[in-house]
């Protein structure tokens, strides 16, 4: 197990280093001159030169990279080119906001997805199953900017249950933010729900087909007991993996949802950093997202291993 962990962590570190190089190289290829983006169309050559000097843009690329990477590891993520403010507090705060949104979304779609998946499996190929499978697939396929705008139209503007815009103060507390989190969280949930439901459904169907379930049925155990004691504890294993991996997707993949609702999370910060060619900010955001993805994947594997004694990782 220890070996396995060390190896996986090593892989994550390599991934991060490679990603940082790739991100750094790609951002260098972006068209345009960051000094001109910052100073505007009528800036004087002198001002542009001063700024490039100040930002260290004249240094060789590998020096720029090493400086940046070294600082990143030491926890000094540098200053944003555009706002000149320290990057780390900015990114961590937006990450916190994205985490609040992700947390609410998880609480909505995981229980709901499991319930729907089990119902679908029990009523396999009957109308409830077709309905659940059909609808959840439709939502998986619909992009967030469609579901988001539909929800805004019906629930916010039509019924006025929720605010249409989630553009809250980035420093809001969870309690202040909660009313503004529901609608974006539902939007995300509609996409996530389908995955969970399908995973649960197929897992449950597989288990229902096994001999030990048939034996349990035949020996006359009550249906509820069979379901909870014998079916679910086996069939939910793949679902756990999906949930853990979903965290990475939730934190990193909310760009569209955050843009639709104007929610001040990591996604909007990334979009901004790309628009303004704020490279250090873009690099920091990307690194955080890659790290979260890697760690949540690792967590998924570990949890799977812990829950399923048949799997002996690393041996």
Partner 1 sequence: MFKRALVLLALMLAISMILVSCAPAAPGEEEVPGEALSEKHGGVLRSAYYAPTNMDPAFFSTVADDWIGRQWGDFLVYIDEQNTPDPSRSLAEGWESSEDAKVWTFNLRQGVLFHDGKEMTARDVKFTFDRLRDPEIGAVTVTLYANIAEITTPDDYTVVFELTESNPAFLYDLSDYHAIIVDADNEDFATVWNGTGPFMITSYSPEDRIIFERNPHYWMSDAEGNPLPYLDGLEIIFLSDSSAQVEALRGGQIDYLIYLPTEFIPVLEADPTKVVLQAPSNTSYVLRMRSDEGPASDVRVRQALKLGTDRAAILDGAVGGFGTTGRDTPIGPAYGDYHLAVPEPVRDVEAAKALLAAAGFGDGLDIVLTTQESSPVPAIATIWKEQMAEIGVNVEIQLVPSDVYYGAEEMWLQAPFGITDWGARPNPQPYLDLAYVTGAQWNESHWSDAELDELAALAAKEMDRDTRISLYHRIQEIFMERGPIIIPFFINNLWGASADLRGLEPTSSLGTAMDLRSVYFER
- Residue 269: CB atoms within 10 A of its CB come to 28
Closer by beta carbon to partner 1, 31 or else 60? 31
x/- letters, 276..315, toward partner 1 (CB under 8 A): x--------------------------x---x--------
Query: Which one of residues 4, 15, 52, 93 is an interface residue with partner 1 (CB under 8 A)?
Result: 93
Return the range that interacts with partner 1 (CB under 8 A); candidates 5-13, 32-40, 58-66, 213-221: 32-40
Closer by beta carbon to partner 1, 69 or else 119? 119
Helix spans in the chain (H): 2-29, 34-39, 45-55, 61-74, 87-122, 127-141, 144-151, 174-208, 211-218, 223-225, 233-235, 237-252, 255-261, 266-275, 279-307
Shortest CB 127 distance to partner 1, Å? 27
Shortest CB 144 distance to partner 1, Å? 17
d(CA 228, CA 231): 6
Question: Following DSSP, what letter does each residue of 141-182 receive, concatenated?
Answer: HS-HHHHHHHHIIIIIIIS--S-S-----TT--HHHHHHHHH
> With binding defined as CB under 8 A, does residue 32 bind partner 1?
yes
Shortest CB 229 distance to partner 1, Å? 5
Say which DSSP state 277 is in.
Answer: T
Return the range that interacts with partner 1 (CB under 8 A); candidates 3-11, 12-20, 128-136, 239-247: 239-247
Return the range that interacts with partner 1 (CB under 8 A); candidates 14-22, 59-67, 165-173, 203-211: 165-173
d(CA 225, CA 310): 23
Say which DSSP state 309 is in.
Answer: T
> With binding defined as CB under 8 A, does residue 225 bind partner 1?
yes
Return the structure tokens found at 246: 């979903």
Return the range that interacts with partner 1 (CB under 8 A); candidates 37-45, 67-75, 127-135, 185-193: 37-45
Query: Which one of residues 247, 252, 255, 282 is an interface residue with partner 1 (CB under 8 A)?
Result: 247
Q: What are the angstrom distances between the C-alpha of 301 and each of 146, 207, 237, 255, 292?
A: 33, 21, 11, 26, 14
Query: Which one of residues 25, 49, 150, 314 is an interface residue with partner 1 (CB under 8 A)?
Result: 49
d(CA 277, CA 127): 52
> With binding defined as CB under 8 A, does residue 169 bind partner 1?
yes
Q: What are the angstrom distances between the C-alpha of 175 and each of 169, 219, 254?
A: 13, 51, 21
Give the up-direction half-sphere exposure of residue 183: CA atoms within 13 A in the CB hemisphere.
28
Length of the chain, in residues: 315
Closer by beta carbon to partner 1, 129 or else 258? 258
- Which among 86, 85, 27 is positioned nearest to 57, based on CA atoms? 27
Shortest CB 50 distance to partner 1, Å? 6
Query: Which residues of the chain form contacts with partner 1 (CB under 8 A)?
Result: 32-33, 36-50, 80, 82-85, 90, 93, 95-97, 99-100, 102-104, 106-107, 110-111, 164-165, 167, 169-175, 177, 225, 228-229, 232-233, 236, 239-240, 243-244, 247, 262, 264, 268-269, 271-273, 275-276, 303, 307
């Amino acid at each position: 197990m220890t070996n396995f962990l060390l190896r996986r962590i090593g892989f994550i570190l390599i991934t991060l280093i490679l990603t940082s190089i790739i991100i750094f190289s790609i951002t260098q290829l972006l068209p345009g001159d960051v000094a001109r983006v910052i100073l505007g169309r009528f800036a004087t050559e002198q001002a542009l030169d001063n700024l490039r000097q100040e930002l260290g843009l004249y240094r060789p690329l590998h020096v720029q990279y090493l400086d940046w990477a070294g600082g990143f590891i030491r926890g000094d993520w540098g200053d944003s080119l555009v706002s000149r403010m320290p990057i780390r507090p900015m990114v961590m705060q937006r990450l916190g906001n994205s985490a609040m949104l992700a947390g609410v979304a998880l609480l909505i779609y995981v229980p709901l997805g499991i319930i729907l998946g089990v119902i679908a499996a029990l009523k396999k190929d009957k109308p409830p199953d077709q309905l659940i499978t059909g609808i959840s697939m439709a939502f998986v396929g619909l992009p967030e900017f469609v579901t988001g705008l539909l929800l805004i139209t019906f629930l916010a503007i039509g019924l006025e249950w929720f605010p249409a815009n989630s553009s809250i103060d980035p420093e809001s507390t969870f309690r202040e933010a909660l009313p503004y989190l529901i609608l974006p969280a539902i939007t995300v949930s509609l996409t996530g729900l389908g995955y969970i439901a399908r995973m649960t459904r197929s897992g449950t169907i597989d288990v229902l087909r096994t001999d030990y379930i048939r034996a349990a049925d035949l020996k006359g155990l009550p249906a509820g007991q069979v379901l909870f004691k014998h079916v679910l504890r086996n069939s939910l294993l793949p679902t756990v993996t999906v949930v853990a991996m979903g965290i990475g997707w939730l934190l990193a993949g909310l760009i569209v949802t955050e843009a639709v609702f104007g929610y001040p999370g990591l996604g909007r910060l990334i979009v901004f950093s790309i628009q303004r060619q704020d490279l250090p900010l873009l690099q920091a955001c990307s690194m955080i997202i890659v790290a979260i993805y890697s760690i949540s994947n690792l967590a998924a594997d570990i949890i799977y291993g812990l829950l399923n004694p048949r799997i002996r990782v690393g041996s």
